[in-house]
Chains A and B, each alone.
Chain A
């Protein structure tokens, strides 16, 4: 089955630690995105990548880093510099031409202890 997978589903982090969230897709989509959702709020864009080895900052990139070494994978690292990392993290992808619809993975819920 084609789709987007994110792991882990739940993640607990101690203050001062870096953690990496995984996002993998087998849809052959070129573009991938990371969003953050806080309780009762909409989604905010962290980073996005339109092609392999290239990515751009979104609206709230501070304290986060990404890489795009493979078309299928777009991992997000939440660094200790991120002041308030507790949130629901969502990865999405879209095709490179013909449509700009974005489809989401199941998400990772990160809690800082």
Chain B
């Protein structure tokens, strides 16, 4: 079993719809969770971090965390063609104050937003 798992996609979404991405992790001690967006040929860009159970909203993005079920999800509302990218889920065993801990990444979900 991989430590962090994501559906590789592609997830095809009509423009204006909601894209829903899921990520599961195996280490119950994980405390920090991140979503990165990576355009083809570019480096990952941090778009969301979440540390507590529940929802966290930032613009059109909502991250959802459920530690009991060991999953974290990302919702992209009003999807735009510019949202077409690979979204990487990353997990850190350390808490938000614990710098220097390593991230474990999932393989990424490719999202295609069609006009």
A binds B: yes
**With a CB–CB cut-off of 8 A, which chain B residues contact A75?**
none
Say which size band chain B's interface belongs to: 20 to 34
Cβ of A98 and Cβ of B97 under 8 Å apart?
yes
Across-interface contacts of A105 in B (CB, < 8 A): 43
1/0 per residue A74-113: CB within 8 Å of B?
Answer: 0000000000000000100011111111111111000000
User: Helix, strand, loop or mixed for chain A's interface?
Assistant: loop
A2 within 8 A of B: no
The answer to whether B46 and A101 have CB atoms under 8 Å apart is yes
Distance in Å: Cβ of B34 to nearest Cβ of chain A: 7
Report A81 CB to chain B, min CB distance, Å.
22
- List the B side residues contacting A99 at CB < 8 Å: 96-97, 99
Binds A, one of B11-19, B57-65, B73-81, B102-110: B102-110
Contact: B99 with A30, CB < 8 Å? yes
Q: A106 to B39: give the CA distance in the assembly, Å.
A: 11
Tell me whether A33 is interfacial, beta carbon within 8 Å. yes
Residues in A with CB closer than 8 Å to B43 are 90, 104-107
Known: A100-B92, A100-B94, A106-B43. A31 touches B107 (CB 8 A): no
- CB of A68 within 8 Å of the partner chain: no
Max chain B C-beta neighbours (<10 A), residue from A31, A48, A102? A102
CA distance A90 to B62 in the complex (A): 26
A100 touches B99 (CB 8 A): yes
* Nearest chain B CB to A17 CB, angstrom units: 25
A45 at the interface (CB under 8 A from B): yes
Any B CB within 8 A of the CB of A41: yes
Q: Which one, B8, B96, B97, B103, contacts A102 given CB within 8 A? A: B103
Question: B44 within 8 Å of A by Cβ?
Answer: yes
By a CB distance below 8 angstroms, the chain B residues around A41 are 107-108
A33 touching B88, Cβ below 8 Å = no
Additional 16 contacts, C-beta under 8 A, given A42-B107, A99-B96, A100-B92: A30-B100, A40-B8, A41-B107, A58-B102, A90-B44, A98-B99, A99-B97, A100-B95, A100-B101, A101-B49, A102-B34, A104-B44, A105-B43, A106-B42, A106-B43, A107-B43
